[in-house]
Structure 1
Amino acid sequence: MKYLSGQRPLYVLVGLFLLSAAMLNGCAWLTQPPQNDAVAQQMVGRWMQNNSGLKSFKGLMQLQIEAQGRSMRGRAAFAAVLPDRLRVELLNTIGQPLFSLASDGEKITLISMQEHVIRHLEPSSGALEPLIGIPLGVEDLLSVLIGRPPLPDFAAAQAVRDDIEQCTVLLKNRWHERLAQLHSGSCERIETLTLYDDRQNEMRYAMTWIDWQTVGPYILPRKATILAANGVRITITVERYWPDISVPADTFTLVLPENFRTDSVPK
Structure 2
Amino acid sequence: MRPAVGLLYNPSTPALLAHAPALVEHLSAMPDRMWFDFGDEPVARRFRHAQGAITELAALARGRSLAGHGLGLSLPSAMPLDEAMLGAVVAVAEGLRGFAWYSEHLSVFVTPGGAAVPNAQAGLGLPVVYGDESFELLCPKLRRLNEALGCRVLLENPAQFSPLTDLDCSEPEFLNRLYRAGVSGTLLDLHNLYVCQRNGVTDPQAYLEALDLDSVEEVHLAGGDEFGGFYMDSHATVTPPAVWELAHEFLPRCRRLRAITLEYQESYFEQIGLQALARELELMHELAERCTVEHPPC
In the superposition, the TM-score normalised over structure 2's length comes to 0.28
Q: Decide which structure has the larger Cα Rg and report it.
A: 1
In the superposition, the TM-score normalised over structure 1's length comes to 0.30
